[in-house]
Structure 1
Amino acid sequence: MSSELRFFYEVTQRLSGSLQLEASLHSCLAYLTDHIPVDGIYINIFMAESQEIQMLAHANATGGQLLDRRIALTPEMCEGLTDRERPPIRILNAIEQDSVTHHVLSQLIPDAKSVMLLRMRCDDFHLGVVGLYSHQEHSFRPRHGDLLQALHQPLAMVTAFNLQGRNLLAEKAQLEAENRSLRRTMDSRDEVIGAHAGLKQVMEQVEAIAPLDSTVLIQGETGSGKEVIANAIHVRSVRAGRPFVKVNCGAIPDSLIDSELFGYEKGAFTGAEKRKQGYFEQANGGTIFLDELGELPLSAQVRLLRVLQSRTIVRVGGVEPVELDIRVVAATHRDLQQMVRAGEFREDLWYRLNVFPIAIPALRQRRGDVPLLVHHLLEQFRVRFKLERLPSIAPEQLSRLQNYDWPGNVRELVNAVERAMIQSRGGPLQFDFLAPGQHDRVPVVAGGETVVIDPSRAGDHLVPLDTMTAKYIEHALRLTGGKIHGPGGAAERLQIHPNTLRSRMKKLGLM
């Protein structure tokens, strides 16, 4: 038997020696190292619809492992990967020679210096790429590429069987999808979409502060994901197994704030038939998340400051203090510093809360996360709508999503994807209802300043006036950093009394 046939035979034997792809790759690598200066091998696939590279498996000297890691790509990178002229074998003796390879390996295998890439096809279908990498630059020669190309068939077959195996037992697919959805709900690490992209700096802050018990203040626009970040802090802390209690401070009527936050004793007031624990007691030992903290009235701010200072509460109608072992994470879409200057927020409470601030960028500031978020949402809605497969999105529709401003941030994106899936009836998703500018173009002159909103873009179908009013108030609040009254506040800019504006916001569900 010739040396070439012996090489092909030995590699094929090792690739077919296990039903586990990671084990096959590790066994194959052990043989390849005698013939090629290689330190590791991996297989990935290009997900064109979601503009991602998905890693399937990786093996090095220490062993093999299956992967489900996805790396977001730019539209330019995707265009290069779909080029039919891209060669089947590429030798990159410095990975910087190819932008996509450098982008992917710098995140997954940062010590890779040179790589050989084999594009695999099966039945005229592009399966993915096999990569052999080295920790040294200039490791590979054309003869190494010839050896790798000779292995195309066995590598393509084991990859195809692995991909098929991930979709076998179709009768269990729905249950598996529901289990994945449940695991994501239980583990917020999977929920932070964009942790390695647009939210990378935020997640670095989360990793730094999570092991400590310091108070955290999360700031960001409405719908930007403040609760997700708060939950990420909790699950990475030593309190991860303890309660995580979420409180929407803006949703509690002023008359019920004390009883809801601190609880009450039996007989404290009419209807108090038994003792009730407040949110702080419910979170004892764990984390309390005070969302929309800027909506608390000054009277409640005083009592909250006392709790943060003493770490004790007194139930309504009680006299004995209750000691707390608790971590506080607060969040707001409003500019608390501006509120302090306007006399709407206590300065001492501001200093107590602003120990470690985290600012979450708006979705329009991290457009690269949109494909990742869309794919994540499609998986969730596929389970809810009981679909057998993910619906497709044309590149121009995905581009429309990335170019949209998303004034409602991630929350608006969720609604847009759900609406598109309902309207698609199983076909490709369309997002034509997100035509740029249709939500914010009406010509109005106020105080000598022209604000442009173009009603000519609104077709024959009109939205309710309350909806337009709510959108315009939200826009005013974004411009003023959440400030309602005082100089430069939303009420002043809208030429409306602050109390009237607050009343209208409550009616529209904005408070």
Structure 2
Amino acid sequence: MQKQFYFEATQRLCSSLELEQSLRAYFEYVRQHLPIDGIYLNIYRPEYGDIQFLAHVDEAQTTALNKQVKISAEMEALLSQPDRPVIRIINDLEHDQVTGFVAPQVIPNIQSVILLRMLSGNTHLGVVGFYAKQKAQFCHRHAELIEPHKDTLSLITAFNLKGRNLLRANQALTQQNRLLKQAFNPCGVIGADSGLKRVMTQVEAIAKLHTSVLILGETGCGKEVIANAVHCKSQRADKPFIKVNCGAIPESLIDSELFGYEKGAFTGAEHRKAGFFEQANGGTIFLDEIGELPLSVQVRLLRVLQNGTITRVGGFDAINLDIRVIAATHRNLQAMVKKQTFREDLWYRLAVFPIEIPSLRQRRSDIPLLVQHFIEVLAAKFNLDKLPRVSSEQLDSLNHYHWPGNVRELINVLERAMIEAPEGPLNFNLTQVDKVEPAASGKHETIIIDPSHASDKLVPLDVMVSKYIAHAMRITGGKLYGPGGAAEMLDINPNTLRSKMKKLGLC
């Protein structure tokens, strides 16, 4: 009888590649010989300090589970004992510390159980529990019947776990692929229909043309994203898009990096090299931090814009280029022109179509969208199974922060929080300095300035006002009038502000 039982039970276990289906067929047969109300299957995960339930079958239904139950260090020690029996009968759960704690959290009213250990090599994989909802239901004969099934149950459980891991890996790859597509899809601008709506209207207007574009805005506000969008929506979208940080190239190398060089042009020039402009031929070159270029290079850049040609360092022949120039800066180029640190003729060439990007504090409606987007990107970067939660209180703190570093600072804040608490909830621990609180009228915002950072040595009030106005002009990209301008941010009439600036020698 025992051989026949083993044969039939094994046939049922091997009847399907789906764990739930094979477990259902197995349960329907075994219940004819054992007084069981159901079967559950779980694994012990020492790396997480928990027991994870994989499947459960009873008379009503068969369910795939992903339920984790945390256990104490004392329980972990019990499970790690090498001399634990392969099969155990527990006719009263109160007599077993681990099972009495874990099983009722998944299966209500469970009273007695036969535990069959599953092994993979010498590794304890988990247990199969044959349970009843009454006490003292099992005897030694029942254990003898099901003990030979341990190898088959271990095998199908191992295959199921492998399948789950492959599925999870596949889902993770799909998620990463989707996020990478978003990251490399220049047209995917977060806030295009809200805080950046006006900017995107300008992008749509200029993208199809070949006109140079100047993008203005604070550091970290997303100038490169907008440059990407202009290129993506242009007729050059399938051509090169070359990004150059002008402030990161040593002055002695700028000419050779931008315009290339001929073989033998200088020591170490062992072969001809195409510069960034040549690499971008047919497409777009994005010159970030254009205000950092020395005057000598500004002259040659002006020639490129005027004639569409370059000459390599050490060369004599002009090279014709079909190229679009997008420049960006956080500096006030008009003020630099007056100080003669930026060429006026180059300014007029670049500023044919300026696009001003609002700071993050000027488009707070985009913060929840940006938070969700970057949490997804960072979750893929950190290989997280699920996205960490952000409480409404923490999101509110983000909305009320001043964001001097704009979107770049937001990314850093999110990344730091996710490193500290990858499973969430996220806590951002923003400092109070520069924190924004809504004003009583609800129309404006009040910046809390902490005087404790000042020394006992004070400066004249005009000097302080001058520096504050200069700071306002910097963060607005030199914009004085209109929405997002310095006058609006300082809550002062534009004409009054201009008068103050003349009096203080700022214009």
Which TM-score band applies after superposition, normalised by the shorter structure? 0.5 to 0.7
CA change 1:307–1:214 in 2 (3 A) is same
Query: Structure 2 CA distance, aligned partners of 1:319 and 1:479?
Result: 46
Specify whether residues 277 and 476 from structure 1 end up closer, same or farther in structure 2 by C-alpha distance, changes over 3 A only.
farther
CA distance in 2, matches of 1:336, 1:350: 7
Question: 5 Å matches for 1:92-491?
Answer: 169-190=167-188, 192-437=189-434, 441=450, 442-444=453-455, 445-448=458-461, 478-479=471-472, 481=474
1:221, 1:478 within 8 Å by CA — same for their partners in 2? Answer: no
Contact 1:218/1:332 (<8 A) preserved = yes
Aligned CA distance change for structure 1 residues 209 and 480 (closer, same or farther; 3 Å): closer
Q: Provide the rounded CA distance (Å) in 1 between the counterparts of 2:194 and 2:315.
A: 50
Give the Cα–Cα distance (whole angstroms) in 2 for the partners of residues 299 and 325 of structure 1: 23
Cα distance in 2 for partners of 1:298, 1:480 equals 23
- Partner of 1:217, secondary structure, is strand
Task: Render the CA deviation track for 1:349-372: whole Å, top value 9, x for unaligned.
Answer: 111111100000000000110000
Q: Distance in 1 between matches of 2:384 and 2:432?
A: 27
Aligned to 1:38: none
Judge conservation of contact 1:443–1:451 (CA < 8 Å) in 2: no
Counterpart secondary structure, 2:177: helix
Q: Is the 8 A contact 2:384 2:422 kept in 1?
A: no
Pairwise CA distance, 1:172: 2.1
Query: What whole-Å deviation, never above 9, does each CA across 1:208-258 have from its counterpart, x for those lacking one?
Result: 110111100000000000000000000110000000000111111111111
Secondary structure of the structure 1 residue equivalent to 2:187: helix
1:187 deviation in Å?
1.2
For the 8 Å contact 2:387–2:423, the answer to whether it is kept is: no
Query: 1:19-72 deviations in whole A, cap 9, x for unaligned?
Result: xxxxxxxxxxxxxxxxxxxxxxxxxxxxxxxxxxxxxxxxxxxxxxxxxxxxxx
Structure 1 residues 314 and 450 mapped into 2: Cα distance closer, same or farther (>3 Å)?
A: closer
Q: Distance in 2 between matches of 1:243 and 1:297?
A: 26
Letter aligned with residue 420 of structure 1: A
Measure, in 1, the Cα distance between the counterparts of 2:360 and 2:215. Answer: 16
3-state DSSP of counterpart to 1:481: helix
Q: In 2, Cα distance between the equivalents of 1:232 and 1:425?
A: 32
C-alpha distance in structure 1 between counterparts of 2:270 and 2:226, whole Å:
37
Q: Distance in 1 between matches of 2:328 and 2:372?
A: 27
Deviations 1:170-210 (A, max 9, x none): 442201111112211231122x1000000000001001110
**1:424 to partner: Cα distance:** 1.6
**Alpha-carbon deviations, 1:432-480, whole Å to 9, x = none?**
234353796322422336969xxxxxxxxxxxxxxxxxxxx9x997445
CA distance in 2, matches of 1:231, 1:322: 26
**How far, CA to CA, are the matches of 2:272 and 2:422 in structure 1?**
51
Quickly say closer, same or farther: Cα 1:382–1:213, change in 2 above 3 A. Answer: same
Contact 2:417 2:428 in 1 (8 A): yes
After TM superposition, the score normalised by the length of structure 2 is 0.55
Q: Which runs of 4+ in 1 moved over 6 A?
A: none
- SS of 2:354's partner is strand
Which 10-residue stretch deviates more, 268-277 or 385-394? 385-394
Q: TM-score under structure 1 normalisation?
A: 0.55
- Separation (CA, whole Å) in 1 of partners of 2:360 and 2:416: 19
SS in structure 1 opposite 2:274?
A: coil
Q: Aligned partner of 1:336: which letter?
A: L
Deviation at 1:414? 0.2
Give the equivalent residue in structure 2 for 1:506.
none
Q: CA deviation at 1:395?
A: 0.5
Q: Secondary structure at the match of 1:433?
A: coil
Asked whether the equivalents of residues 404 and 436 of structure 1 are also in contact (C-alpha less than 8 Å), the reply is no
Aligned partner letter, 1:446: V
Q: Which residue of the partner structure matches residue 97 of structure 1?
A: none
Deviation at 1:423, TM superposition (A): 1.3
Indicate the SS of the match to 2:328: strand
Task: Give the residue type in structure 2 aligned to 1:285.
Answer: G
Q: Read off the aligned partner of 2:460 and give its amino acid letter.
A: G
CA contact (8 A) 1:443 1:450 kept: no
Q: Secondary structure at the match of 1:189?
A: coil
Q: Which residue identity is paired with 2:454?
A: P
CA–CA distance in structure 1, aligned partners of residues 376 and 449 of structure 2: 31
Q: Deviations over 1:415-439 (max 9, x none)?
A: 0000111112412001123435379
Distance in 2 (alpha carbons) for counterparts of 1:257 and 1:427: 45
Cα distance in structure 1, aligned partners of 2:475 and 2:411:
23
Change in CA separation of 1:437 and 1:215 when aligned onto 2, cut-off 3 Å: closer
Judging changes above 3 Å, is the alpha-carbon distance between structure 1 residues 340 and 395 closer, same or farther for their aligned structure 2 residues?
same
CA distance in 2, matches of 1:433, 1:303: 45
Give, in whole Å, the separation in 2 of the partners of 1:436 and 1:253. Answer: 35
Distance 1:478 1:448, change over 3 A: closer
Counterpart in the other structure of 1:123 = none
CA drift of 1:481 comes to 1.9
Structure with higher Rg: it is: 2
Which letter does structure 2 place at the counterpart of 1:349? L
RMSD (CA atoms) = 2.3
Amino acid at match of 1:423: E
Alignment identity in percent? 60
Task: Please give the secondary structure, in 1, of the residue aligned with 2:430.
Answer: helix
Residue equivalent to 2:86: none
